[in-house]
Structures are given as C-alpha cells and as structure tokens.
Structure 1
Amino acid sequence: MLNSKSTKKIIPAILSLSLLGLIVSVLIIRIHYQISLNPGEKSFCYFSDMFDCDAILASPYAKLGPFFNAELAFGYYLILIWGLVESWGKKKPLPALSYVFTWTIFAAIYSVTLNLLSTVKLGVICPLGLITTIINLIVLVLLPLEMKVPLPQLPNTIKKKLFLAPKSLLFYGVGTLIIFGMGLLFARKLNPQARYSFGISPEAYLKSFYALPQKEIPLPERPIRGSPDASVTILVFSDFRSTACRRAESTLKPVLEQYRDRIRQIYLNYPLNSSCNPMVRQTKYPMACIDSKAALCAYQQGKFWEYHDWVFQNRSIDYESLADALEMERSSFENCVISEKTAKLLKEDIAAATQFKVDRIPTLYINGRQFRDWSNAERLRLVLESELSQTALH
C-alpha cells in the first residue's frame, strides 16, 4: 500500500501528463489541417518512410466519423484535467476518479488500436501518436493507485460511485458535453479555413491541390497501364519492398481499374538503397536495387505489369520462380539484371525522381501536381474526376 506522501504526488503527475497530451493533440490537429489544405507540403513530423505522421493523418484511420482522432484526444485530455481538479482535495474523490478512469480505459484501448492499425495496414508509425498512447497507458496505471482501491474491486467501485449514483452521473455527463463541445470549437479554430466544418470540403481540397505547382518534366519511356492516349497521367515513384508502397498500391489498383479507359499510370523506380540511388542516405532494403533492375528487365520482355503485380502481392521474391511464373526467358532475364544497360535505365528513373524532388515514397503526381493522399481512395477519385472534367472542356 502506498503511503500518503507518495499518493499526493500522483495527481500532479497525471495532470502534467494530461497537459503534455493536450499539447501533443494540438500539434497533431495542426498537422492534420496542414496536410489537408496543402497536400504537397510536409510537416515537421515526417522523419522517414516508417516514422511519418503525415501518411497516417491523410488516411481513413485519422478520423472517427466526422471527428479527427486528435480532436477526440484533445477533448479527452480536457475531461481528464477537469476530473482530476474536481477530485483534488475532496474527502470523497472516488466519483471524480471513477469518471476519469472510465474515460482513460476507452482512450488507452482506442489509441493502442490505432497505433496497431497504422503499423499493420499502412506500415508507418506516428511518433506523436505514440506519445499520446504512452501517456494514456501511464495514466491507466497511476489512477488506480490514487483511487486506493484493490484492482479486483475496481469495477464494482466505479459502478457504485458513478453509474449507480444518479447525481454524479448527471453532473459528469453534462460536464462532458460542455467540455468536449468547448474543446471541439477550440480545435476547429486552429484552422481558420475549416473553422466550424466537420472536415475539409471537396471544394477546399481541390482548391489546395490546384494551388500546387504543376511540373512538366520529360520522362523516360516506361510501360503504361491504362489508355496510352489518356489526358490524365498518374506518375508513381515507388519501391517494391516498401510497406507504404504496398499499401498505396492496394489503394491505387481498384481506382485505376475503375478509370482504366480514361487515365494512364506510369511507374518509375525509386529504390531505397544507397548503392544504386545516391538520393538515399542509408540503405533500407538490401534487395531494392535488384528488384528495380528486375522490373526493368521484365519491361524489356513485355512483362512489367505482371512483374509489378506479382511482386507487390508476394513479400518473398524468388527470381527463378518468378521468371518461370511470368513465362520470361530465364537466362536473358538473369543477364539483363546485371547488365550496364539496365543500370543506366535505373539511373534514368532516379534522375527523373531528382527533377521531381522526390524525398519519400510512395510519391504520386497527377498531371504534374503532387498528390500526397495516396491512402485515401475518395480523394484520389475526387482529383481524377476533376482532372477528367477539365480536360474534357479543352
């Protein structure tokens, strides 16, 4: 059992953690608005292909219904602070502590689930989101110590002091609505262009997309998926080993199938391996250069898209089996992979990436403008429909 001196330190410690969570939530909200209104702009929370808040905040996992997850977190930390202040110094603090502990259980479960989903589904981790998850778990451990109730008795205590106490339930229920509502209004004011709207409107998003510079850079001759004469071109810089690129491919493929007769896709290699890509500081995937060269060799045998789809669907790559499965001439394929001609073709892809100032993958361009929301099929369709309607007028 903790002594009274040690328990006096618990609420100040939780309050400090809550304030930190509040600050982190504000930062995430700001990043969310930044990348929503400026799709081509990177935030300070992009560190690498793996540690990238931007990719997560541009994905469907960033929202729960009409609310950004960061807005929900902001409201939770306000509620936590209010409940702790309400309990501090009271002779009967259990109702208030039961209230905040109930919220903390949901917050901890939700934040852990989001981190797991983003890691498994997108292959990325948001450092700021990880901080809030750690805060929630620490608070989840500290609160029972302050409540001074044995763990087996916690459920009954919370039920008795909160859910079976009508006055407490009404008081904290009304307080929750007021505090959460005020928190939401404050969060929306962090972005003047979307102050009272629940998310970014399609019109605002398209306006931000067309505000981006349009690049017209000659490309090396590469295989095209879709209509060769299409007026809308999706240019993709990617690495076959990257988890994020695999995720982008799963978003792109059904959309491209939908528009296959009206758009075209061009794939350029951007291997995350410094031995063949001088733009990469350190090697992330040792086989990335070989994968890219093999793709170019499959292209020379007219099997690029078959290779592309097969490799993205299979994490382990056996090139001998692959050559046989795609009915490529094996000896020609193997000689091609190590040839100087193929190395030169790969340099052309990387040179194009340099001109487009690619610094992360996947990087997508739609008719010369960078499209950052590669995990958001809805926004991809929105931009494609807009581009198709504009080209139809000319």
Structure 2
Amino acid sequence: MKKFAYLLLALSIVGALLSGMLLLQHYYPDAKIGFISCGDGIINPCLSLAQSGYATLFRIPLAAYGLLWYLLAIFIVLIADYAGGRYYDYALAALLPLSAAAVATDAVLGAILIATGIFCTLCIATYVVNISILAIVLLWYRASVKDGRFSLAGICREVLAAQESSPDRRAFYSSFVLFIFLLTFAIFSTSYILRLKTGSARIPVDTINSFVISFYRSPAQNIAFPESGIVLGNPKADLTITVFTDFLCSACYEFYRMEKFLLSKYRDSIKIVYFNFPLDVGCNKDLKRTVYKNSCVAARAFMAASDSGILEGYIVKHFADYQNTHVRYTPETAMAAFRQLDAGARNGIDEQRFRELMNSDATSRRLEEHIRLAKQLGVDATPTLFINGRKMVGVPRIDILDRIMKNELTRKKYHSKS
C-alpha cells in the first residue's frame, strides 16, 4: 500500500503548490507568478478568470478550496503511512469520495473554461493532478478489494459506530474532525485577510450606486476625439475609454493596473485610447512646475512604441519596474524598456530607429496636439478619463468602474438591437 500512498503524497504536494500559486495570482495579479501561469502580457487569462463570476464561491477563491483539498489529502496519507495497518483502509475510504468529488468539480470548471474561451494553464494543471489522484485511488481500491481486506461499507459502519469504539479510536476520530475544522478555518481566514490587505474586499453597494448615479448625472459632452495613435485593446471595440495620462504619474500607474483587469475581463469589448498630458514643463509649458521629471520623454517613448507596433509589450516593460524608475526616469530608461523586449517582439525595429521615432519632429507635433486638446477639454490632472462623453478625474475603485463598463456595454448592446 505504501507505493500508492507515496504517489498520492507526491501528487497532493504538487496540487497544493499549484493551488497556492493560483491563490497568489488571485490576490496579487502583478506577482511574477503570472509569467509562469498565463504570461505577463497586458491581457492575462488568469486575470480574466479571476475577474469573472466563476473565480469564487461564497466570496472565497476556488483556489482556497483546492488548497484545502490537497492539504487534507496530504494529512490523510501521512496518518496512514505513520500508523499503518487498518489506517490505510481508513485513508482509502476517505480519499475515494473526495477525489471523485474533486474530478467531478473539475469537469464543471473545465466546461466553464471552454465556454468562456479562457485558457488558464495552472487551472488545467490542477485538473490533471486530480485525475491522476483519482486514478491512483481507484488502483489502490482495486488492489485492496482483490486482497479481500477492504470493505467500504464495513469502514462506514465502524465510523458511524464511533461511540462503541475504544477510547483511542474515539480520540482519533475527534482529533481528525478537529484538524479538518482548524485547517479549514486557517485557509479561509488567511484568504479573508489577503482580501482585506490587497483591497479586494468589495465596497458597499450603496457607495457604488451613489458614485455611478453621480457619474451619470454629469452631462455627456459630444466630443469628437482625433486619432491619438496610442490604443490598447480591440480597435473595433464597442466601448472606448479615453485617458489623458502621464506615464510616470503614480495614479496613472494605479490605473494601468486597473486597465489590465478591464482588458482581461472585457477583452474584445473595450479599448483604451491614450492622449499624453505630461506633468512636465519641458513640453507642457503652461504648468507652474514639473511634477514628474522627464515625463515628456516617457510620452515620446510611448508614441514611438505605438508607431512601431510594439505598444502592448512596451507598456508592460515600462510599468514592470515602475517603482524603481519613475523617480529617476531618463531617455536611457526609455531605451532600457525597449531593450527588454525580445527580438521577436520588436517588430523589426532596432534601437536606432526607436530613438529616431522618439525624437522626430512628427512625434513632437503630435505631443503638442495632445497637450493642446487636453487644455481645450479642461484637463489639469492625470489620469482624466472620458467614457462616452462623461468626464472622470482620478482613479475610481475597480468595483465602480466595472459597474460603469457593464452599464455602457449593456446600453450599446440595447441600442444596437433597436
């Protein structure tokens, strides 16, 4: 029986690690683990899944339930291996329905992945682990039945008749139940603490409703935005978020993190159009002072990246080290982000050509046009958003912006049918 127990132990440890990674990805989407699981692009399938209604059950991530299952399996196998004898049968009796339930749950979740078109590598890896665990449990069950030593009905009768068992056996049953309770409490309470710590806790519905009502009470302006040349998302998307930004400002960095969620969740339905409004007197002459030194250089770099067809990759590299570079940003910092792109992701553009695009007269003229447009629209802070003609200054909570996205997309869908 030991060979089955050790195989199950190894698989359960792998499953626990995978579930831990998924839990980390859920609460810390910018963690480097994202590269292992789904890639580090602006549109991340794991973020898309985390933002869907299928990622949690009773507001607890499904990854936490998976972690509970694998740790419980590890505990059961370790007890059987340590105690030996009849405890191997108890372990088999516990793992048989648990592993079958895990695979049945995975079948439902797999169908959801197929229906949504989301490919989550780590999720699929856990499905493979669970199928492997069930296969080993079934082989163990067949071997035990063949030896004539195992009776699932007999073990169930023993457990149900616990009051008639020896004191040692009753103590074991009580300790096992207590351990399950403590393990469940530890995992779910840790998940709750992470939700509070990372700001994932939802704000009250009344607060969301109040903000959304206030947003829609503001008059919608009929603004004919010119081509900015800097666009993320599906160019033919139904909904456009127009953003006046400074690519070095801290609030704009927070909005970038929100953009990743929105683009991952709504994918082909929205696009984000950028206009530069650097808070730097180097190119924005009407400012009283420079807030982010060399943000004019960053604006030029993003325009060059867009002209080169590498905007998505460039924005990821730019913000990947934002905390260390935004306070000492230089033209060399802009080039360093370009160099971090793989050769295949540079679209045939070399460093010299990228630098030429950054410093070209055409880029300077477009930057001036962006700043002029921002002033015409009364923009004086970044980020400033325009959603269907309505202005929003600053970075709202994701719950609020998500509600507005749903409202706008629903309205457009309704009008398209009318």
Using structure 1 for the length normalisation, give the TM-score: 0.48
Using structure 2 for the length normalisation, give the TM-score: 0.46
Higher CA-based Rg: 2
